Structure 1
């Protein structure tokens, strides 16, 4: 006898129409009906994480690497709570995710039933554009369609709450009865062009500018050639937000690198020296690294009018897709011979030398900047990079140039540790033929990464190309926070809060059937990294690095904080002596090259 089609079957069918290929999640009694429907269907594929937080990060990774909607599911109660971190990552980095969250039977709601929590309140902020509980089967197709359209239009998470009894109910036969809404699983967008009067005003500001800087964000994804033409036309330097870094070619002489606390000295010189700022598709929050208010006349381009003037007092707002607006500007901007260009190029050359010299500073046992610099030399052209939060981000910004054919992602605005391995897994699922490289510190690995190495061990044999290289920087310290304690508080490192227990990452990888390697001597660095990229299975490269290598903000901002860091290190006594020596050497490199 044929099984009766349920509302859960209808959900899976609708996801297929929305071209969902994978659902990340974790099982529980609450979403069992949905999981059963996934099992019965030809697709989408269900990929089980080891924790709902990881599953949510994987859905974010699906959205970021695949440029599509990521989908995650969980049970009610604790499973739902665990989703929050990943969903906030999607919200703050503006990527589309749909969460299908189970709830107890409607008949028990309000009784303090087992695992009953108020999911509407729980998700009210993280999914404010669209949050809906499905209370009848007839409601379901419309809610799924609106969830996807909202996620795509707003670049934000949508949450659909699915009571258990609704998941089990027979699928409805929708018609035209009163109270039934029949929708289409379709979404599209048009061209958004800037207004003529705003363009004229922007062109006037640019014509009067003598020292122009571009700040490029993720809104310029896939638009490097246009951005480069615009910079060449204006003689402008190009700084990027953290999210914008993968979308420019950092070999270009006008690209100064990432701005902000973890940025480059070239980007700091550009933004502190410019008299005109053109912000392209960026909402970067590091406001103290923008030009001082009043120094630069500013223009901002964004498809979202709500963010115009959000970070800097702009004079002109151009609302439109950055590709369209850049095209509008290029049609009208004249060629110009600008001496500012040579100043920018000199700052870029200086920064590249600083970056090289920093990596060559001896450390005990290895300088992490040298490790990441050597890793950068081996990145395949089509690499997909996943970067974890912490000191890894500093080294990524300062020592890695994403190849023009590659991409890279991290938890930027939320800055949540533990994202790299879930992201890397999603990157591999999206494009199994492409190599993946992940970079994470030992703190992030012990927080979430180690668990998802188990998932890696279960998935890698399904991939067309098994190359997956994880470099784990092992220094037994939450290094970024240790340096923040010294830098912002003038306090010594607090050992009880900062120490990361030693863990055998390479040995653990071997236990899981992966390939584990360990580097504790600089003489082995190149040989081991070469081998890591030749192994036909995922590799975990554990590198013992020096926690005292400084994480200095770019000068001139960093110079202003040196005394605070010296005070903190001096208070550590003998244990701070090595860090103080390294700090002085790094400061000396900066000053000598300026």
Structure 2
């Protein structure tokens, strides 16, 4: 029974099917926590160690379940800590509801303790941000917030003053406010383009001789339809990072990823195509798309405002990728000339050989590629892989191979560090029977390292793989290759991550010898519950783009000439890599 405003709010979340909330207690939300305590049989609280982790975990939960993620934080600093994780959700189009406390309703705006106007602070990241004013107001606000987050695939925010949380549930109601008028149901519009638009799109694609497909996260539920269209068109499928799990990495129709983390064959496909189908992706790096006027393009996206956002398209098709591709399929003609696809497949075979060469070296210090490649042997066909941001994203994108029903995600457009472990918490809570792997760098893991205690507390079976090079590696290589300057400010104080994990209650292993990689990883994966492997790797192994541009090479040389401290080690590493590849 709902006795308070807080009870009404939590009950309304339960009505909407919310069963998990990620949060951290505080006096500004004690009323909400009491309501959660009395409803433990219907809604689970996952206590984290930092509110940023709560928001990132809610984002990860939303990404992997395709449901609403919910996070809860106290007033003032608690709500402020949510901001980064909420922007991650907004940037990657994930429905997340943030609930925060506020100071006493009659002291708001008087500089009382923790009096922060979170409605205003979160007004940019949240498409809907509202303060609950009374018992008769709360259900209306919750309904509007939930519907906005789901419909727009974005962030919504509710804040409740601490005293209002404890007000009786039977407060006064205005004459205009009809009880429960807002409803607790949401129906997707399921838009589908008109047949004439589908026919024009098919005609444009059929007229090309070198068709390419750029597939993103919007195709994660459209694998069957995407492969069928690609097969008829003889079109290589290039995958944006968040679309890595769209099709298996060893499928003959894909050339893998694109961008700085991608493959050379994928870049060549986009450089050589005359038709481009962009399906469920807003891949942000404009420099990797075909040249202007090179390719005529069709784009499929659920959000009409994203049509033509990255590349000029002639035909935009609004709708879910599985629906639109299914509608396109009978209109697509079987392409008899498969030379464009065949050439891409030949180049992909060469690329895979190169990746195998790089990932099977036994020299010391250990190459990070060795860890990523060996990890494949222990991944189940439905594993959920949560990747942090940094050089680790390159090794994961190129060397962790998607197969079966695996899921993969990272922080896409925002590219925030620290997301990997928090995403893993969201995934492990959502799928208690599935294998969850966090692939993180030492820089990213350090940011929210306290969440090791969270996976220990709940015995979440997350396997954490930490690539340790004692530096912010991606920043180092960006300073060298993009700015032409020596590295500065990127060296990290070494941390014994295996020791920290053990101190938190998580078994930990140290790995530095590539010949021991298989054995160490096997021990960790055989361990029930959480486990952490600290892999110490070569800090001079460059995460170079699949195709290095002349400008990048020149900036790299300039940086070395300016006095890069470890320039001879870097030169030796690059030269050794090239010699091995030629041999």
TM-score normalised per structure 1: 0.94
Cα deviation code 1:71-112 (max 9, x no counterpart): 111111111110000000000000100011111112111211
Relative distance call for 1:106 and 1:197 in structure 2 (3 A) is same
After TM superposition, give the deviation of residue 4 of structure 1 in Å.
Answer: 7.3
Relative distance call for 1:309 and 1:4 in structure 2 (3 A) is closer
Cα deviation code 1:377-415 (max 9, x no counterpart): 321112111111101100011101122221112111111
Relative distance call for 1:53 and 1:282 in structure 2 (3 A) is same
After TM superposition, give the deviation of residue 192 of structure 1 in Å.
Answer: 1.4
Relative distance call for 1:195 and 1:331 in structure 2 (3 A) is same
Unaligned runs of 5+ in 1: none
1:473 and 2:467 matched: yes
Corresponding residue number in structure 1 for 2:478: 484
Whole-Å Cα distance in 1 between the matches of residues 89 and 565 of structure 2?
43
Cα deviation code 1:221-261 (max 9, x no counterpart): 12111111111000000001111111212111120111112
CA contact (8 A) 1:55 1:72 kept: yes
Secondary structure in structure 1 of the residue aligned to 2:509: strand
CA contact (8 A) 2:97 2:157 kept: yes
Corresponding residue number in structure 1 for 2:429: 429
Cα deviation code 1:99-139 (max 9, x no counterpart): 11111112111211111122222011100x21111112211
Whole-Å Cα distance in 2 between the matches of residues 337 and 354 of structure 1?
30
1:506-517 → structure 2 map (5 Å cutoff):
506-517=498-509
1:542 and 2:525 matched: no
1:48 and 2:47 matched: yes
After TM superposition, give the deviation of residue 486 of structure 1 in Å.
Answer: 0.1
Whole-Å Cα distance in 2 between the matches of residues 101 and 376 of structure 1?
40
Secondary structure in structure 2 of the residue aligned to 1:246: coil
Secondary structure in structure 2 of the residue aligned to 1:24: strand
1:178-197 → structure 2 map (5 Å cutoff):
178-180=176-178, 182-197=181-196
After TM superposition, give the deviation of residue 317 of structure 1 in Å.
Answer: 0.9
CA-based RMSD of the aligned residues comes to: 1.8
Corresponding residue number in structure 2 for 1:164: 162
Corresponding residue number in structure 2 for 1:315: 314
Corresponding residue number in structure 2 for 1:28: 26
1:5-404 → structure 2 map (5 Å cutoff):
5-41=3-39, 42-127=41-126, 129-172=127-170, 177-180=175-178, 182-338=181-337, 339-361=339-361, 364-404=364-404
CA contact (8 A) 2:5 2:134 kept: no
Relative distance call for 1:333 and 1:157 in structure 2 (3 A) is same
After TM superposition, give the deviation of residue 559 of structure 1 in Å.
Answer: 4.9
Whole-Å Cα distance in 2 between the matches of residues 114 and 549 of structure 1?
49
Cα deviation code 1:289-341 (max 9, x no counterpart): 00111111111111111010000011111112111111111111121212212
Unaligned runs of 5+ in 2: none
CA contact (8 A) 2:468 2:535 kept: yes
Paired positions, count: 580
Corresponding residue number in structure 1 for 2:455: 456
Whole-Å Cα distance in 1 between the matches of residues 168 and 2 of structure 2?
7
CA contact (8 A) 1:266 1:350 kept: no
Secondary structure in structure 2 of the residue aligned to 1:247: coil
CA contact (8 A) 1:174 1:180 kept: no
Relative distance call for 1:43 and 1:455 in structure 2 (3 A) is same
Which stretch of the first structure deviates more once superposed, 337-346 or 579-588?
A: 579-588
The correspondence for 1:523, drawn from 512, 515, 522, is: 515
CA contact (8 A) 1:363 1:549 kept: no
Corresponding residue number in structure 2 for 1:568: 559
After TM superposition, give the deviation of residue 28 of structure 1 in Å.
Answer: 1.0
After TM superposition, give the deviation of residue 456 of structure 1 in Å.
Answer: 1.2
TM-score normalised per structure 2: 0.96
